Amino acid sequence: MSAFRAALRISRRDALRAKGRTALVIIMIGLPVLAITALLTLSETTDLTVREELPSRLGSVADAAVHAHMTTLPIQQDPAGRFGNQDPNKPGPPARWTAAEVSRLIGGRVIPFYDYTTDARLPDGFDRVDLLELDLREPLSTGMRTLAEGRLPASPEEIAVTPALLDRGVTVGGTLPLTKRGQPKRVVGVVEDPTRPGVMEVVGLYGSVLAKKSDPQGEGWLADTPAPVTWEKVRELNQLGLRVASRAVAESPRSEEHRYVPGSDDELLWLAIAVLLVVTETVLLAGPAFAVGLRRRRRELATIAAQGGSAGHLRTIVLADGLVLGGVAALLGVALGIGAGAVAESIAARALDWRSGPVDVPWAPVLGVAALGLLSALVAALAPAIRAARQSPARVLAGRPDEVRDRAARPLLGLVLLVIGAGAAIYLAPGSELAVVTASTVALFGLIALMPWLVRRTGSLAARLPLPARLSVRDATRHRARTVSAVAAVMAATMGAVTVGLAYTSTYTAEKQMNRLEAPEGTLTMSASGVDEATWGKLRAVVQERVPGADPVPALEGVDGDGRSMAALLQLVREDCPGSCEQYGVAYFDVPVGDARLLALLQGRKDPQAAAALAAGKIVVFDPRLVSDGAVSVTLMSRAEEEESSRRRTTIRVPAVVARGAQAEQGGAVVPASVLTAAGFRTVERRIYVAAASTAAHLRDQKEVQRLGLDLQSMAGNVFVTLAEDHTGQKLTILLTAALGAAVLLVLGGTFAATGLAVADMRRDLDTLSAVGGRPLTRRLVVAAQAGYIAGLGAVIGLVAGAVTGSALSRSMASMWRGDSPVVVPWAFLAALVLGLPLLAALLSGLFTRTRMELARRVA
Residue 652: alpha-carbon gap to chain centroid:
44
Answer positive or negative: Cα dihedral of 86, 90, 94, 99. Answer: negative
Q: What is the Cα–Cα distance from 112 to 22, expressed in whole angstroms?
A: 63
Parts of the chain with a pLDDT under 70: 1, 254-267, 401-410, 573-585, 640-647, 700, 761, 814-821, 850-860
Name the 3-class secondary structure at 688. Answer: strand
Query: What is the rounded (10 degree) CA torsion for 740, 743, 749, 755?
Result: -100
Q: Where are the beta strands (DSSP E) in 529-648?
A: 553-559, 565-571, 587-589, 619-621, 631-638
Residue 682 corresponds to which amino acid?
R
Residue 461, Cβ density class (10 Å: 0-12 exposed, 13-18 middle, ≥19 buried):
middle
DSSP 409: P
Q: What is the pLDDT of residue 255?
A: 60
Element (H, E) at 67: strand 64-68
pLDDT digits (tens, 9 = 90+) for 469-487: 888 888 888 877 778 888 9
CB 639 within 8 A of CB 566: yes
* 67, 217 contact by CB (below 8 A): yes
On whether the CB atoms of residues 203 and 161 are closer than 8 A, the answer is: yes
* pLDDT confidence of residue 407: 54
Contact yes or no for 68/367 (Cβ under 8 A): no
Do residues 672 and 642 touch, judged by C-beta distance below 8 A? no
Look at residues 824, 805, 827, 562 and name the one whose alpha carbon lies nearest to residue 682. 562
Residue 503 identity (one-letter amino acid) = A
Phi, psi of 688 (to 5 degrees): -135, 150
